[in-house]
Structure 1
Amino acid sequence: MIDTSSPPPGWAEAVARAGTELGLGTAYAVMDPATWDRVRRRAGEILAGQGQALPAGWERALDRVSGRADPDGGAGDALARDEADAVLAEKGEVFAPEDDA
């Protein structure tokens, strides 16, 4: 994980450029998760195009640099659970929430 207390050079600018290019603005903190994901992916493309290597955890670091403490509100975890549930359902191993009790 990289230190986001002092963002790497050009990261904030890449996010601003991405939001502007996509016509989505720079109000990152209030963007819905899907919109923010578009901006974040474009910013990653911009940084990579500038020759910056994106280290592990760059997405979360970019989230923090942009003022998004929890950018997806845990949606990533929810999506992972949904995918896991789909795999279990395909195998016939479906569990109800009350099974955890």
Structure 2
Amino acid sequence: MTDTPFPPPGWAEAATRAGTELGLGTDFTALDAAAWERVCRRVGQILAGQGQALPPGWEGALARLFGRDAAAVPAGDALARDEADTVLAEKGEVFAPEDDA
């Protein structure tokens, strides 16, 4: 899995919004793995709702942004990406698998 070198603009704001909406706060280094997974899933939904496609490794880039161990990528990686793809498809932004190559 290729890591995104740095999070694009808006990711930090999406994470802050996600942590606040979920009632988990914004001290992301203090969250346990399950809570961090919930934040990542919500961040994926927020970004997809804004029309952003999530690149492979986006969770690791987000984790590094907040000082978390990027090796502890949430198990929800595929689920969050699937949700993001669904939102983009509903908006008519259909892409083929070769677009990810």
Determine if contact 1:16/1:26 at 8 Å carries over to the other structure: yes
Distance, in Å, in 1 between the alignment partners of 2:25 and 2:38 is 12
Match of 1:56 in 2: 56
Amino acid in the other structure paired with 1:69: D
For the residue of structure 2 that corresponds to 1:8, the secondary structure is coil
Match runs of 1:61-100 below 5 Å? 61-70=61-70, 72=72
- Unpaired segments ≥5 residues, structure 2: 76-101
Distance, in Å, in 1 between the alignment partners of 2:23 and 2:74 is 24
Match of 2:19 in 1: 19
Match of 1:29 in 2: 29
What percentage of residue pairs aligned between the two structures are identical? 60
Structure 1 runs (4+) greater than 2 angstroms displaced:
69-72
TM-score (ref. length: structure 2): 0.65
Give 1:3 deviation, angstroms: 1.1
User: When the two structures are aligned, how many residues end up with a matched partner?
Assistant: 73
Determine if contact 1:33/1:71 at 8 Å carries over to the other structure: no
Determine if contact 1:15/1:66 at 8 Å carries over to the other structure: no
Give 1:66 deviation, angstroms: 1.9
Determine if contact 2:4/2:60 at 8 Å carries over to the other structure: no
Query: Which protein has the larger Cα radius of gyration, Structure 1 or Structure 2?
Result: 1
Distance, in Å, in 2 between the alignment partners of 1:43 and 1:31 is 15
Amino acid in the other structure paired with 1:10: G
- Unpaired segments ≥5 residues, structure 1: 77-101
